[in-house]
Chains A and B, each alone.
Chain A
Amino acid sequence: MKLAGQLDLDSVADFALDYAAKLGLDEAEVSLHEGTGVSVNVRMCELETVEKHNDAQIVVNVYKNHHTGSASSADMSEAGVRSLLDAAASIASQTGADECLGLADKELMASELYDLDLHHPWGADITELAQLATRCEDAALSRDKRISNSEGANVSTYSGNALYANSHGFRSISSSSQHSLSCSVIAGKDAGMQRDYWYDSDRNAANLDAPEAIGKTAAERAVQRLDARKIDSTETPILFDPAMAKSLIGHLVGALRGGAIYKRASFMLERLEQQIMPEFVTIAEHPHIPAGAGSALHDNEGVATPAYHALVDQGRLQTYVLGSYTARKLGLSSTANAGGVRNLRVSDTGHNFQELLAQMGQGLLVTELIGSGINMVTGDYSRGAAGFWVENGEISYPVEEITIAGNLLDMYQGIVAVGNDTDRRGNTHSGSILVQNMTLAGS
């Protein structure tokens, strides 16, 4: 595989690691990336903005006697890299020592590096991208006469190269791409306006949903929200649609991060091996899936990722989410999660969306959550929500200006079912999640 720009990144990495050695540092690591992208916005079927992106960044981390320093810049010139390492070394001379600081252990480095099919550059020119965005927005605008306005449609494409190398002699170079198509439209007028959107993203533009399908979904979602009501406060089961369900999984991952655990700032503290969810729930990483949004053979420290890594297995918490530093702090091994989790998948209970509605009977279907009302230390949860009131297993009417509240520990234990209506966009895939009673606050 011949990568555009590979020689440049390689020689920058060589120079940086050589210079780090000359500075007498114990260990050093360097992450480089360069990439180009285009973002095209169309609004009311007219070209609105065209942005050309051209990014480059170098990040260096250095270690000396268990002190560390970090520096970053876009400047990959020799003079630039030298001053960057000087700055990092200077910081390391002022920071305090911690035995746990250092590169990840050498024996954990990924040894087998192969192509994960992450690079599918999109050859389309600006005119073609603008045409796709226009088709998408036009489909939304013409879908329903109640669509009154638009925030436009966007097509973005990005392709880049990344290199990670460290003074263990580990080095990895990869190329990747990411493309997306989105549309946001408004239904209704004046005080009754409602906005909604839809999008798709993929490493390969050929796999993106048709622009017309994205536009149509955006329009339907906006129209369905018209005449939303506020409802009375009550205790109710909540069905989180797949996109919202992902946020619940995101809070779990946040609480499992090693940094939050060793600082005792997590509601998941001291819960390893415990049953935190019902037995039918398994949540696992699949880092080696070809062309996956989060696919990688190693983490951000070079540690080999496993093909499968369960965070929650049949409801039991299996692991925290650790890089080398937090692993050492906790006396555990790195879980190859420096930089986060990769291709997280939530098992389903075989129910389709209609069956979940029927199972809930009466309750709230949540399709939007806003605000940041989550206390990661206690798990207390209170967020603004919008969605639909469900009666007799059928969507009855849209609701808005309400909040839903509970505690994440109770919410996870209270999962009743996970749908097979999986949202396959992005790094975390989940179906709808039905949770038993939470408090809905309204009028």
Chain B
Amino acid sequence: MTQSNFDIVDSTLLAPTGLDGVKLQQVMDKLTGVAGCDFADLYFQYAKQESWSLDEGTVKSGSFNIDQGVGLRSVCGEKTAFAYSENLQHEAIMGAADVVQAIGRRGQDIGTKAAWRPRRPRSVYQPHDPVATLDDAAKVAILHQADQFARAHDPRVKEVMATLAAVYEVVLVVRSDGQQVPDVRPLVRLNVSVIVEQDGKRERGSMGGGGRFDFAYFDTDLIRHYSEEAVRQALVSLQAVDSPAGTMPVVLGSGWPGILLHEAVGHGLEGDFNRKGTSAFAGRLGEQVASPLCTVVDNGTLPDRRGSLSIDDEGNTTQDTVLIEAGILKGYMQDEHNARLMDMPLTGNGRRESFAHLPMPRMTNTYMHAGEHDPGEIIASVKKGLYAVNFGGGQVDITSGKFVFSSSEAYLIENGKITQPVKGATLIGSGPEAMQTISMVGNDMALDSGVGVCGKEGQSVPVGVGQPTLKMDQLTVGGVQL
């Protein structure tokens, strides 16, 4: 690293408009001048995004977006006042601070003039600018490679759609306790989606991945893998029969099926829902909420992962947080606001979509630790059930705990053997109940390939999931075949 994150923050966000410690203090004084202010922060963000898309063998479109701004927040007890400015001139930021002050009632300054404390957290990724580090022709070439690999893999491939996207973000969190914490965040993603056709039947398959890298991550082997995997999934779907309907044992594959944990327990363990008592897990710390085979963590510190962060969006260092240990509920994911109100430890889970959004407790990489069983053994233990290995998306009702997730690749298990592929079955259950029915956990823990996006209250953030192969004794499978 030749340039420190502070140098990058300074040259990108502060120096162009002459923002310095004195000017930042003037803004902070306004925010902390709101009556009863417990905490205030400024979130400076520069975000550059680029994407290229291919279909019909041609990269037909590309787009480039650049945004910058600062979000200003003042928190008083349970109340939050928030405004933002896309203009980083001192006068504009002072204007936004006036708005925050007008929202909160102006009162006695909390008077704690902490000296600025620049903090240099350990970084869990390199400060790449993926947009700048590869020329456009080479980006286009990646998509053409993906197209060619898919078409060469099987003549039934009729259409290939591929997207290559990169984000480069420079962030500075300035807090009322004096901390100033920078971060420089790269994020790249390649997605390949194919349409296959045979005997008048059409199906789709998709595969992709990425992380906090530059584009060098997508080497030829990986591009080929995404393309061939998308084709394989589509061809499996062509052969699939109607899914069974009803309650049965379900074996979930390793990796991306960890979306189960994200929906069934993850959201329900975010601090805000538990502070308000609106989560099915509220008030259940120390209770058995999953089978003793389950240890579930949220870990923002994994190097280069899509869901990882060096610091969260409130400047707190991310952690490896145990949520469920041997089935016992151990902790929630917290941001500043909810940790303070619940008098619980910070976990570095305060995240926001951008400077124009308020932070809240969000997941990073959520996964289950490996167990003891060989995956083959787990499948062999099922007389009649479903083996689901790929999923589209999921959703949860935090309050009732009911979650669903929709399989895009699943098979029947009959007498301990994988037999027919079945068409998109939706799985539905109740988080706290379904987790209790996990009776076998594999030794093949894997993380997803790096494509997850989580939505909450209208804000999207990149996340990761993972799990070993696992068996749930009873889960409702929403197919059409009774």
Contacts and interface: CB of A to CB of B under 8 A. Distances in A.
A111 to B, nearest CB: 29
B202 A370 contact: no
A73 B432 CA distance: 44
B395 A441 contact: no
Contact of A377 (B61, B195, B394, B397): B195
A373 interface: yes
Interface in A61-95: 68-75, 84, 87-88, 90-95
B472 interface: no
A207 interface: no
Interface in B405-464: 405-406, 423-426, 428-430, 432
Nearest to A56: B86
A429 B114 CA distance: 55
A402 interface: yes
Interface stretch (B75-83, B166-174, B211-219): B75-83
A425 to B, nearest CB: 17
Contacts of B158: 264
B430 A401 contact: yes
B103 A94 contact: no
A265 interface: yes
A299 interface: no
Given A265-B195, A402-B428, A94 B61 contact: no
Contact of B426 (A91, A228, A384, A442): A384
Interface residues of B, number: 81
Contact of A442 (B81, B137, B476): B476
Contact of B103 (A52, A95, A372): A52
A380 interface: yes
A181 to B, nearest CB: 16
Contacts of A98: 56, 58, 60
Contacts of A56: 86
Interface in A229-268: 230, 233-235, 263-265
Contacts of A43: 78, 276
A133 to B, nearest CB: 13
Interface in A40-55: 43, 46-55
B139 to A, nearest CB: 8
Contacts of A368: 397
A91 B402 contact: no
B203 interface: yes
A386 interface: yes
Given A377-B204, A400-B402, A234 B482 contact: yes
A383 interface: yes
A441 B204 contact: no
B368 interface: no
Interface string A417-443: 000000000000000000000111111
Interface in A367-412: 368, 370-373, 375-378, 380, 382-384, 386, 400-407
B398 interface: yes
B236 to A, nearest CB: 13
A372 B159 contact: no
Contacts of A84: 64, 66
Interface string B84-127: 11100000000010011001000000000000000000000000
B257 interface: no
A50 B78 contact: no
A359 interface: no
Task: For chain A, give the interface size range.
Answer: 35 or more
B406 A51 contact: no
Contacts of B78: 43, 46, 48
A173 interface: no
Given A71-B63, A149-B278, A373 B195 contact: no
Contacts, number: 254
A386 B86 CA distance: 42
B26 interface: no
B71 to A, nearest CB: 10
A68 B58 CA distance: 12
B277 interface: yes
B16 to A, nearest CB: 11
A95 B60 contact: yes
A26 to B, nearest CB: 16
A151 interface: yes
Contact of A70 (B64, B276, B400, B401): B64
Interface string A265-306: 100010000000000000000000000000000000000000
A372 B243 CA distance: 16
A94 B81 contact: no
A87 B64 CA distance: 7
B3 to A, nearest CB: 22
Contact of B276 (A51, A151, A442): A151
Nearest to A66: B60
Contact of A194 (B68, B99, B400): B400
A25 interface: no
B61 A235 contact: no
Contacts of B58: 95-98
Contacts of B59: 94-96
A439 B481 CA distance: 8
Contacts of A403: 245, 404, 426, 428, 476-478
Interface in B138-189: 139-140, 158-159, 161
Given A378-B203, A405-B480, A48 B79 contact: yes
A195 interface: yes
Contacts of B300: none
B245 A263 contact: no
Nearest to B203: A377
B7 interface: no
B69 interface: yes
Contacts of B81: 49-50
Contacts of A269: 202
Contact of A91 (B64, B80, B204, B280): B64
22 contacts: A49-B81, A49-B82, A51-B83, A52-B99, A54-B83, A71-B64, A73-B65, A74-B69, A88-B64, A95-B58, A151-B276, A191-B401, A233-B482, A263-B56, A371-B406, A373-B404, A375-B424, A376-B204, A380-B423, A403-B426, A405-B478, A439-B480
